[in-house]
Amino acid sequence: MLGWNAHGTELVARWVSCPRDTNDDGICDTGGGKDLFAYGESNNWMRLYELDPCLPWAPWCHGDDLVETLYFPATEVHLRCQVGWCNEVSRAWQAPTSDWVTYAEMATVVSGVYQDGINCEYLRVGNREYNCYW
């Protein structure tokens, strides 16, 4: 199929420090997404199959055949994060590094949202700097 398709979405979690207000204005200015600068993946590949529907009158059919595996270079995306979220950033389309019969390119798009944890709730008890908005 020719065109743009999303084949592979990954949900990742990264530990960050708790949001904190360092200048006493009530707004968090460090921690959360501000701890993150880049995201990378080094093992990028895509396996392509020929789709062969097996019909009941064709018992010799053994299903989808592997055409090839395409390997892509490592990717690194520089993030643009605030305390509470990371704006969507992307890296340009990349061609496979391996020889190919078929052809596909890959791109990396990253965005994120800070999710608060119980450890940060504990820090807020009695610590004014952790009671801030983001």
- Binding stretches for Ca ion (CB under 5 A): 21, 23, 25, 27, 29
What span, in angstroms and rounded, lies between the C-alpha atoms of 104 and 93? 10
CB of 24 to Ca ion, least distance (A): 7
**Residue from 114, 105, 42 nearest 79 by CA:** 114
Strands (E) located in the chain: 38-41, 44-50, 65-72, 75-78, 80-81, 85-94, 106-113
Taking the chain, what is the end-to-end CA distance rounded to the nearest angstrom?
Answer: 43
CB of 20 to Ca ion, least distance (A): 8
3-state SS, residue 108: strand
CB of 115 to Ca ion, least distance (A): 20
Of the pair 22, 90, the CB lying nearest Ca ion is at 22
Of the pair 21, 72, the CB lying nearest Ca ion is at 21
Of the pair 21, 79, the CB lying nearest Ca ion is at 21
Of the pair 23, 43, the CB lying nearest Ca ion is at 23
CB of 36 to Ca ion, least distance (A): 19
Of the pair 30, 44, the CB lying nearest Ca ion is at 30
CB of 46 to Ca ion, least distance (A): 44
3-state SS, residue 107: strand
What span, in angstroms and rounded, lies between the C-alpha atoms of 20 and 32? 8
